[in-house]
Amino acid sequence: MGSLNARVAAAATLTLCVVGFTAGGALASVAHQSRGPNLGSNVIVLDPSMPQDQIQSELNAIAAQQVPSQFGTGRYAILFEPGTYGSKTDPLIFQVGYYTEVAGLGAAPGDVVINGAIDVFNDQCPTAGGTCDGLVNFWRSLSNVTLNITLPTTPPTYVPATNEGATCNNMFEYWAVSQASPMRRVIMNGNVSLQDFCNEGFVSGGFLADDEFNAGAVINAGQQQFFTRNSDIDSWTNGVWNQVFLGDTGAPATAFGAGTNQYTTVASTPVSEEEPFLFTDSHGAYNVFVPAVQRNSTGPDYASGTTAGTSIPIRRFFIATPTTPLFVINAALALGQSLILTPGIYNLSGTIDVTHPDTVVLGLGFPTLIPEKGNVSMQTANVPGIKLSGIIFDAGPHNSNALLAVGTRGHRGPSTYTASDPTLVQDVFFRIGGAEPGQATDSLVVNSDDTILDDVWAWRADHGAGVGWTDNRADTGVIVNGDHVLAYGLFVEHYQKFDVIWNGQDGEDVFFQNEMPYDPPSQAAWMSSPTTDGYAAFLVTAGVKTFQGYGMGSYSFFNQGIPIFATQAFQSPDRPGVQFNDLLTIFLNANGGSGGINSVINGVGGSSTAANADTPVDVASYP
């Protein structure tokens, strides 16, 4: 074994110095990477000395490729070096499409200033008669910049499909996103709308964290649900079904019930740690900054001027591409390196093993991991402080027991975990079907104590490739076995049994968005017991003594032409230590749907069916 280990170590050392290109059909780039590591051709690094017309052309070319590419293979990270881009007379305006990360490389969000707009809207919107529906505006991100919203003197107009003859101006910054589209560490100066032109169509929830909104309003418009954490809000206008605020300054007060905006506001975040990010220092050297743990926090972590934390030089990271052999990645991790996954699709014949405490695994440009042989794509050890962020986990052609396993179940000890150094799972997304056929029994299994889930979307696809009740098989999206696990912004949809199973003690979930599976072929095929119709979306199991939930919604949209019912959306033991605040259910399919959810939690709360479609049924507190 000694000679084999030596060869593995030598291979890892060699690969640390040589990184190749990434997959995805990279476009010709005007960017340069002379002062940084080779991150591959799909990481586009821009600097303010470049002519703006060339920057604009580059950004437009990427958008043209990625905006319509919901299930495509392209992956991009667009990184802005510190400086100012665009001006009042010549603003920089561009779209962010699928699988595109836009981020500043400053140590603080004020180090990269963009005068213009960074928009997300449906690809049909600029065309007269387009639908402007944003329900599938997934898998994109914006972070670590200051955006001074600057628009042309004469904004482009749009003729909406549902109001022919009228026109709308592109007057705001539009961030019309649904799940898996986080905005972090952004200072926004001006009005930002979370829905498209003219408030048309639907959008279905996003995630804001560590942001600052100045000199304008956050216009919620038709967002069905939205989650905002540790941000500074100048003004938030209106709400729909489930707007949740955690540790925000300027957030609206809780107002939950009939005739209100359905706001849930929690004053402070009990324990948080912002996402690690890539930045360049005063010498132009690349580093990764890991923010410090915060307790009982409100507002952005840079509000005092600086962010507490640790800077890690890039040399301590192994930089992988989709062509890097798995054994080389694992050898680097075993040697104590952290890991950067550059953009692309990683077909894995085995498991990426993250074994060292405080390892950072940072995805750039939504790298996507696919297990080829029914394996788990990534497994972490029972050690503290591992940080995982910016990764998509797809199911593969053979059923996997899980796609990501955080810790190993059953391992306990006084030094195994520590609350002062939590494990982080941030902006991590799971898909069963959609992009390609796939199956997985469970998507995310959390065995580690003291873990923070911060923006997780687990999705059994309802459209795309390999979709069907017997095709994209998947039991459960998230299973929590660890104690002291905190979930902030949890989106879990369409799984065939319980979407979430919570076994751990002293857990907390703030914001939950769920749709039950659309496609059970019969009631008999979807029963959690002989006397219980369907499966609850969120199950807190009988042995749990303490749990807190805030702002949690479950929706049904049964579309098989037959009545399908769930007895309840939430199921939990009845004991004082297990508490819920602001729960709701909604029936979505008013035209052609049948069935629904018979109660909100444990038989308490009314039913949501076609008889009261698109109307929230609320339970303000339970028990």
Catalytic positions, please? 515
Q: Which amino acid is at 248?
A: D
Which residues are bridge partners to 400 per DSSP? Answer: 440
Helices and strands of the chain, counted as H and E runs: 3, 53
Residue 326 φ/ψ region, left for φ over 0, alpha for ψ in the -120 to 50 degree band, beta for the rest: alpha
**Cα distances (angstroms) measured from residue 241 to each of 228, 258, 448, 522:** 14, 10, 33, 29
Q: Cα–Cα distances in Å, from 546 out to 372, 424, 444?
A: 39, 21, 22
Three-state SS string over 177-200 comes to CCCCCEEECCEEECCEECCCHHHC
Cα 461 to its chain centre, rounded Å, is 16
Distance (Å, rounded) from C-alpha 57 to C-alpha 74? 18
CA–CA distance, 35 with 282 (Å, rounded to integer): 12
Q: Are strands 76-80 and 317-320 parallel, antiparallel or unpaired?
A: unpaired
Q: Nearest-CA neighbor of 513 among 206, 99, 135?
A: 206
Give strand pairing partners of 52.
none
User: What contacts 24+ positions apart, CB below 8 Å, involve 154-162?
Assistant: 156/126, 158/125, 158/126, 158/128, 158/130, 158/132, 158/197, 158/198, 159/128, 159/129, 160/132, 160/197, 160/198, 160/200, 161/129, 161/130, 161/131, 161/132, 161/200, 162/200
Amino acid, single-letter form, for residue 463:
H
Residue 485 and residue 527 in contact, taking contact as beta carbons nearer than 8 Å: no
DSSP β-bridge partners for residue 459: 431, 493
Burial class (CB in 10 A: 0-12, 13-18, 19+), 125: buried
Helix axes 2-17 and 326-334, enclosed angle (nearest 10): 100
587/554 Cα distance (integer angstroms): 9
